[in-house]
Amino acid sequence: MARLLGATDSVLLPNSRIHIHYPAEKLFHVNGKPRETFLPTVSIDLLSSAALRSEDPILQSGIDILNRIMKSRQR
């Protein structure tokens, strides 16, 4: 959501014909916390050297996590 902290609404100013957007609703997680306090359990540094070498660093991170889970279950 590109750091959007809530829903927006817009209005066209009649004399200038300029559209303006303004905050209309605040978003919350299902547990009641404000959206801006949410931190994902997996953080991916898209500027790391490993991420820059990967064609799809987010997909690769998911594959790595699944591989670790599978290895831990095989023990």
For 4, 7, 10, the CA distances from 18, given in Å and listed in that order, are 22, 20, 10
Share of the chain above pLDDT 90, in %: 32
- Helices (H) and strands (E) counted in the chain, each on its own, are 2, 2
How many other C-beta atoms are found inside a 10 Å radius of the C-beta of residue 61? Answer: 18
Q: Is the pLDDT of residue 2 over 90?
A: no
Domain positions in the chain: 1-39, 41-75
pLDDT tens per residue, range 59-74: 988 999 999 999 999 8
Whether the full predicted model's pTM is greater than 0.85, yes or no, is: no
